[in-house]
Every structure is written in structure tokens, then in C-alpha cells.
Chains A and B, each alone.
Chain A
């Protein structure tokens, strides 16, 4: 498997760095808007990804890493919210496992926030920052050399002569 070379910080335009940083920072605002239903952040990340992924591989990588890494925390938070609603509606017991899940969701989200802030800072500097697992997947998707990169398709717009 071949990969495109990684751009160095001085080769990346300021605008690209800002867009890459935005992938992480946008999530904070979306989380605040989406509380107590932790879904808006994921929707916002998907939209941000599709709008920005074609701009450059550097932006593609950071957007995808931000999007993928939000999935587990969003799922965990959803499980806790649904569990809490069920307890409220059906008189289930507020047992130790539920409270452990609340602590777990809180701690995971906190950890995720911390690494996202670091990633946003690095992206602004034009640096790569790899999350565990999601960093490698995002790198593979964004930087792998695809067949269409080697054999570009026939251009649609052609000069008149």
C-alpha cells in the first residue's frame, strides 16, 4: 500500500491549518448546543467532513479523525441518556452499574475533550496528531494512493485548441 507524502508545516497554507483546527473546535460548540442529547456534535462533524474533505489531504485527515473519534463517546453518552430516560419512565432501579456508566461516560468525554484540544492546537501548527486507532484509520483513508490518483480520469474542461 502506497501513501502520499506528508506535507510539512511550512508547506501548508494558513487557511488549511485553520480548517483542520476547525474540525475539532466545531465539536465543542456542537456538544454545547446538543446537550442533553449528544447527537448534534456527530451530525455537525459529518457535515463538516463532507464540506471540507476535498480541500486537501491534511484537512481530510483531521476532519475524518475528528468524526471517527466522536462515534464511541457519542454512543456511550446515548446509552446513558436512554438508560436514564428508561429509569425515569419505567421505574427501573438507579443501580451501581448505571452510576458507573455515568462516571464512565463523563470520564471518556473528558478524555476525548483533552485529546481534541491537543489535536486542534497541533492542526493549527500544521502538524499531524494521531489519536489511538482512529488516527491510523484516518491516515489510511486520507493519504493512501488510490488508483484514480495515478490514472487521473479524462478532464471534463478542456482548452479550446
Chain B
């Protein structure tokens, strides 16, 4: 090959490399701007929003308090919260009476669990895994980020300034009814696996819960939108199975009779 032809080839490859690097940089910038959206809403504003939604949710559903299931939930969540290195939030977990198999997080780290989910889980560790995943969404500020994508900042400000109740309903619908994107689900999964290990709970429990959903052949979109954005969960189950815990990791079982907890629901 002539030297000038070879030089042309090198120039062409260099142009290709520059285009690819440019594409990568562009994609990263877009990705960053997505994440940054959540910082337009402060933690304090998030908590204010959470308070507004709490009333609406608790008017719509019956909360389960002061029984075996509620104390079991609190026991599970205390273990998880203790394992968090640091957090900006004051977590609140509430059990709602509903056959739906669901758990969701609203702004201000208020996490709701439906009794249907507690009934489906075969162990408290599985509930802990789902909650660790929800804590992941709260810590990574996915709820606010999702809200910012779906709604304008004007709508959020309008809600905060005690505005139109119809806007409030719409925002709540967006929070509960729409899914997180796959990247956010993966981030929450990774967060959950690490948190479970720190809390002395087998990280495999997350995969086991997904498997249980697969076995039951449940309609993901209908029943567990918050957890499932995509029907192919095999990768997520595999990720949980393959998660490497530290060599000295020993799971500490919860001190509760899970069957009796379920019977109390």
C-alpha cells in the first residue's frame, strides 16, 4: 500500500475515533443532565411534597397499625436503616391493606408496602430485599428525578405552594403509576444488594422474590410497576445470585414467626 493511502487510512480511523469519542461525551453529558434534574428540588421541598401525598394515600387506603405485621415491618426496616452509612432522610414505612403486590416510595423517603406483598413473600428477608430496593430509589433520588421528567418544575412549585388539588392527584398518579427507567432499577438493585449484606440479610433474597413473582406468573406491569420495568427479570435474578458477599458474611435470621405475621394480615 502506498504511504499516502496508508496516511489516508490513518486519518479516516482518527476521524472515526473522534466521532465515537464525541458521541460518548455527548451521551454522558445527556446522562448527567438527567441526574442533575433531581437537584432542582431540595430535600426539604421533597419532604413537603411527601407530607402532602401522605394524606392523600392514607385517605385512599387503610393503614395497618399496631398489629403483628406492622411490628414485623418495623423490625425489618430498623435493621435496614441501621445498616445505612448515612442518610439525609427520615424514613417512614407504612403498611397498607390491599391485595396488590406492590411497594412504592413517595418523595421524602416515605415508603409504602401493600399487605399483598407481605402475603406473597415467603420470608421476612424477601420483604427486606424489596424494601432495600425502595430505599435505593429514595437514596438515589429517583422519585424526584422521575417526577422532574414527567412533570414541569412549575407543576411541582404549584403543588408546594398549596395549589390545585387536581395537580396534586396528577403528580401522585405519576409517582405511583409510572415506572422507573431500567438504569434506575439497576442502580436500586445494586444499592439493595449492598445494603442487604451490610444488614446481615442474604442478598440472594432479592432474586428469590423476583423468582417467586416469575413462578406465580404475575402480571408485572399491573402488580409491581415500581419494581418491574421490564418483563425479562432473569438478568436481575442472576445478578442477585452472583452477588459476592464478603468471606466472613453470615446472614442473621429475623426473630419472628413469619407464618403468624402473615396470618395477622
Chain B residues with Cβ under 8 A from A101's Cβ?
20, 23
> Considering only CB atoms and an 8 Å cut-off, how many residues of chain B contact the other chain?
25
Query: Dominant SS at the B interface?
Result: helix
- With contacts A132-B8, A133-B5, A136-B5 taken as known, whether A100 is within 8 angstroms of B232 at the C-beta atoms is no
Cross-chain contact B20 with A93 (CB below 8 angstroms): no
In contact, B27 and A133 (Cβ under 8 angstroms): no
Q: From known contacts A108-B16, A136-B5, infer whether A91 and B234 are also in contact, taking CB-CB under 8 Å.
A: yes
Contact A132/B19 with A91-B234, A91-B235, A103-B26 known, Cβ cut-off 8 Å: no
Question: Closest chain A residue to B24 by CB distance?
Answer: A100
Contacts A104-B19, A107-B19, A137-B5: A132 and B11 contacting too (C-beta < 8 A)? yes
Rounded to whole Å, the gap between the CB of A104 and the closest CB of chain B is: 4
By the criterion CB–CB under 8 Å, are A96 and B22 in contact?
A: no
Cβ of A19 to closest chain B Cβ, rounded Å? 26
Interface pair A107/B23, CB less than 8 Å apart: yes
A contact residues around B186 at 8 Å (CB): 93
B260 at the interface (CB under 8 A from A): no
A133 touches B9 (CB 8 A): yes
Check if B232 sits within 8 Å of A91, measured CB to CB. Answer: yes
Q: Provide 16 A-B residue pairs closer than 8 Å at the C-beta atoms, listed in order of the A residue.
A: A72-B12, A93-B186, A94-B182, A96-B28, A99-B27, A103-B27, A107-B19, A107-B23, A108-B19, A111-B19, A132-B11, A132-B15, A133-B12, A135-B8, A136-B5, A136-B8
How many Å lie between the Cα of A91 and that of B232 in the bound state?
6
Instruction: Verify B230–A96 contact, CB threshold 8 A.
Output: no
Q: A91-B235, A100-B24, A137-B5 are in contact. List 9 more A-B contacts (CB 8 A).
A: A93-B183, A96-B27, A100-B26, A101-B20, A104-B23, A107-B23, A133-B5, A136-B2, A136-B4
Closest 4 CB pairs of A and B: A103-B23, A91-B232, A133-B8, A100-B24
CB distance from A86 to the nearest CB of B (A): 12
Shortest CB-to-CB span from B60 to chain A, Å, is: 34
Residues of B within 8 A of A157 (CB): none
Q: Is A97 in contact with chain B by the CB < 8 A criterion?
A: yes
Residues facing A in B5-48 (CB within 8 A) are 5, 8-9, 11-12, 15-16, 19-20, 22-24, 26-28, 31
Chain A interfacial positions (CB closer than 8 Å to B)? 72, 90-91, 93-94, 96-97, 99-104, 107-108, 111, 132-133, 135-137
Minimum Cβ distance to chain B for residue A51 (Å): 27
B233 closest partner in A (C-beta):
A91
- Identify which of A97, A103, A111 gathers the most chain B CB atoms within 10 Å of its CB: A103
Provide the B170-190 mask, 1 if CB < 8 A to any CB of A, else 0.
000000000000110010000
Chain A min CB distance to B264 (Å): 38
Cβ-defined contact, A91 with B230, below 8 A: yes
What's the least CB distance linking B27 to chain A, in Å?
A: 4
CA gap between A97 and B21 in the complex, in Å: 10
Residue pair B8, A97 in contact (C-beta under 8 Å): no
| In the complex, residue of chain A having the shortest beta-carbon distance to the beta carbon of B186 | A93
CA distance A100 to B26 in the complex (A): 8
A103:B22 contact, CB within 8 angstroms: yes
Nearest CB in chain A: distance from B179 CB, A? 14
